[in-house]
Structure 1
């Protein structure tokens, strides 16, 4: 039986054998660790991505816009157009789809995105709403950042902190329980981490330097590292004490016995940056108020390892996102 969350890579490899007709205008097609597709249109590329929001109820429209826009941003493009499918449980009231679309409208306007279509229905068998977003963007072909462009020796630059999205979701969905343990001000800070979810600002800086960028979502930073390595056929070495984790995330993960590095991580961005540019890039991000650190390097050798307390050890891919441990009911 498959676990909740992303389908394992070995199953995806079977899916990728059934991709319809070939088209020479497809610049970037589907693959493990690839956030977006890119299609040639003259001297520009149209970039497209789609993602569902399945773990959140409150602010689900907010997540739908930003999670999908992030996948466009890592291509070096700006998100421009949004389509949305809203699936509602049978006991939904009329206000629910109105509220979801109100949130989508507000966040799309913040990013300069036009809503151009979609579908809404009540679907039997659902326990909570599901929102599936599709975002399109545009970029000059010469400025497209390809997802499989990481090179051996590239530094791994990480922005912000691990597990931001997951921390905010848990704080909102388990608010009363967490207030009893940590207090109201702590929970409000954890909920507010949702405001860090867009990676568009750092992507627009990193696109000038990065060989590849990736938006770690399900499976968090840990899965994101594996997906980047999958896309480029590389290994990596990551230093665990260099991975930034906020206090709110660390304490909530300790309470629920979760690994913050495998907690859904929208809001952080991973980039493969030539070693000679890594320090400059981090300093530039910090100067713009964006937390950033070099957390490791990509390797020609296929091994994928973590260094802790001076010792190197295997760094396995998460089987499932840690969020599902909290919402497994």
Structure 2
């Protein structure tokens, strides 16, 4: 068989075919068309030239319909698997501080991180609208790979679909993620107890504000950028000093207010937060006042809300402030026994008001 292969490789016709194949995996179209989702040669060229080239790693290079892993190696990292999925339809695709590609990677990483898991592998499934510039897709894929490399994860499998012009808005991304939860870590809102404290790692509302400004519908100018960033390294440092963290969640759609209400309802406790302790940029507050919005409900893509035992609060806070993604960390509230299921805000004027669940959607398509 080896002799046959060697003879075959010397055949001029065989060499010509190999040369054509090597050239043909370079996509020549400038815009996505329906053939790129047909399952044929055009689709294979798109996948090879854009995604395989960008995400290159030993698992992805197998080009199987699935990615496979050695369970023995995974088991060395912990005793439970964390698995999540999310879809990204943000408009516009590129905005101050980030883009849909980086957002998809970091958002999925953070969904794993808040369980205490170490993120390892991601998928990437894209829905492309006919007419999307190929260069836009390359830019998004490159951004995803840069974010994945920075976070130490691999994009190992995926899927590509193309829909007719007008049936989608340029580009949608779905990602799934797998991580391993270390033995002994049990983070859940059901663990929350009266007397616990609420901590956040920095300013709220920056992502929602950046998206709103980027849409160009308002004549507002600001240098605010999205806070899109991976949080798993910060979580790892927190768990080292306080493995008994009670609850943890990233405040994305619905913002800080929604996360706190979910905590209060799940644990059947009250939560009191202090308006003066919540980090908010002056520009974000100003925009909210102009538009009648509330920064408590604005989306974030790099903010984590933690509920922990009071006696560990200062240790956690100092650990967070020593990390690049937690320098503005603040203790913003406490868990109280009553009223159960209610979040109260102590305002800057000393009064109290109820912070309810978000009704409707302040800003659609922000992630």
Q: With the length of structure 1 as denominator, give the TM-score of the two structures.
A: 0.76
2:204/2:280 contact within 8 Å kept: yes
RMSD: 2.4
The Cα shift of 1:89 comes to 2.4
Report how many residues are paired.
277
Question: Aligned to 2:204, which of 155, 162, 167?
Answer: 162
Q: Which residue of 1 aligns with 2:276?
A: 241
Q: Which runs of 5+ in 2 are unaligned?
A: 1-73
Task: Report the counterpart of residue 294 of structure 1 in structure 2.
Answer: 331
> Which residue is equivalent to 2:234?
202
After TM superposition, give the deviation of residue 242 of structure 1 in Å: 1.4
SS of the residue 2:203 aligns to: coil
| Paired residue secondary structure (1:142) | coil
Query: Structure 1 residue 103 and structure 2 residue 103: aligned?
Result: no
Deviation at 1:253, TM superposition (A): 2.9
TM-score (norm 2): 0.69
Moved more, 41-50 or 115-124: 41-50
Equivalent runs, 1:1-329 vs 2, <5 Å: 44-56=79-91, 57-58=93-94, 59-124=99-164, 125-174=167-216, 178=219, 181-182=220-221, 187=222, 189-191=223-225, 193-194=226-227, 197-208=229-240, 209=242, 210-289=245-324, 290-301=327-338, 302=340, 303-308=342-347, 309-324=349-364
Following the alignment from structure 1 to structure 2, what is the Cα–Cα distance between the partners of residues 239 and 266? Answer: 22
Q: Deviations over 1:259-288 (max 9, x none)?
A: 111111221110011111112221232233
Structure 2 CA distance for aligned equivalents of residues 80 and 219 of structure 1: 27
Residues 213-272 of structure 1 deviation map (CA, whole Å, 9 limit, x = unaligned): 111110111111112223333321111221110133223333433211111122111001
Offset of residue 156 of structure 1 = 0.5
Give 5+ residue unaligned stretches, structure 1.
1-39
Does structure 2 conserve the Cα–Cα contact (< 8 Å) formed by 1:72 and 1:137?
yes
Q: Is the 8 A contact 1:147 1:214 kept in 2?
A: no
Q: Kindly tell me: are residues 287 and 93 of structure 1, through their superposed partners in 2, closer, same or farther at Cα, counting changes over 3 Å?
A: closer
Distance 2:178 2:333 in 1: 31
Q: How far has the Cα of 1:197 moved from its partner?
A: 2.7
**CA deviations over 1:53-81 (Å, ceiling 9, x no partner):** 22231110010000110111111122110
Question: Partner residue of 2:46?
Answer: none
1:254–1:90 distance in 2 versus 1, CA, 3 Å: farther
Mapped to 2, the partners of 1:107 and 1:133 lie a distance apart of 13
- The question of whether the paired residues in 1 share the 8 Å contact of 2:103 and 2:301 is answered with no
The runs of at least 4 consecutive aligned structure 1 residues that moved more than 4 Å come to: 40-43
Distance in 2 separating the partners of 1:55 and 1:230:
29
- Contact residue 164 and residue 197 of structure 1 kept, 8 A: no
Report the Cα distance in structure 2 between the residues aligned to 1:320 and 1:204, rounded to whole angstroms.
34
CA contact (8 A) 1:217 1:264 kept: yes
Tell me, yes or no, if the aligned pair for 2:124 and 2:157 is still in contact at 8 Å. yes
Structure 2 equivalent of residue 27 of structure 1: none
CA drift at 1:177: 5.1
* Alpha-carbon distance, 1:147 to partner: 4.4
